[in-house]
Amino acid sequence: MATSTLELTPIEARIAARARDFELGPLLRLLEAEGYAAEQILFESPAEPVSSAALVEAVTFHAVPYRRVVVTLNLGLLGANALLPSYFLEVAEQLPEPEVFFDFIRFFDHRLIEAFVRAVHPERDRALMGDWERTKGFYFRMLGVGSVTTLQSLFQLHFPELRVWSHRKAFRSASHGHDLRSGTSPLDGSGVLGFLYESDVPGFLVELHADEETDARVRGGRPSSIIGCVRSCCRCWRPSGCGWRWGCR
């Protein structure tokens, strides 16, 4: 099948050159950010007898017959760990034009790998999940983070390079909505004399400890702050009633 390669942008050239360094999820998000819709991303497996340790084998960009990107993964119907029996590959090698046979197989190969991608990354299919952020919230509540053990495992999973210690703690809370007002506040014990009503709210405290305050890897021309990375992650999914403390030793 004749193809014509696009004049690659700098980002596309870097993607093609470092394809084997990518995880599948970040690669697909990057391709979508570059303007490739889901129907323009095709999947195939390599017709090679040698296995590879990387999931992503190659990324190629094409212009004919339409603009598309082909992501070659080390799974599917072809390759060393293929589902297709080796007999078919032996027959294909004896054909005068084996590439025609491989093109036929790649049609089913794409459908098979595409179904795998949808199962592994359901957030990419809005018809399947709808509001993915809302769905993640449901999953998070189902996880049941109201225990020291679960929080310990959760934070250790997200920050494997840090030392994690979680325990129960009472948090001081102040409320402005219970002060007594003459003529409007009922005398039923719900009012409080004074401007603030302070109470202890039970919760959990997670402590993260690192040996250094900055990451040795340079990003954006300077070392990145580990504290900033931790705060950014915790701000996205911090459970209600859970505080966290940073420590550096």
pLDDT in tens, 60-90: 998 878 889 999 988 888 877 777 777 777 7
Q: Which of 86, 69, 73 is CA-nearest to residue 33?
A: 69
Q: Is pLDDT of 236 > 60?
A: no
The dihedrals phi and psi of 223, each to the nearest 5 degrees, come to -60, 140
> Which residues lie below 8 Å from residue 204, measured CB to CB, with a gap of 6+?
148, 151, 166, 167, 168, 169, 239, 241, 242, 243
In tens, the pLDDT along 141-183 reads 787 777 888 888 888 887 787 888 888 888 887 776 666 666 6
Strands 222-225 and 197-210: unpaired
Could you give the CA distance from residue 137 to residue 140 in angstroms, rounded to a whole number? Answer: 5
pTM exceeds cut of 0.85: no
**Tokens matching residue 232:** 């950014």
At 103 the pLDDT is 84
Question: Which tens digits make up the pLDDT trace of 94-149?
Answer: 888 888 888 888 899 899 999 888 888 887 777 777 777 788 778 777 877 778 88
**Distances, alpha carbon 205 to alpha carbons 117, 170, 245, in Å:** 37, 9, 7
In angstroms, the CA 19 to CA 52 distance is 13
| Across 31-36, average pLDDT | 90
Residue 99 one-letter amino acid: E
- Can you give the residue ranges of every domain in the chain? 10-129, 144-177+197-211+229-248
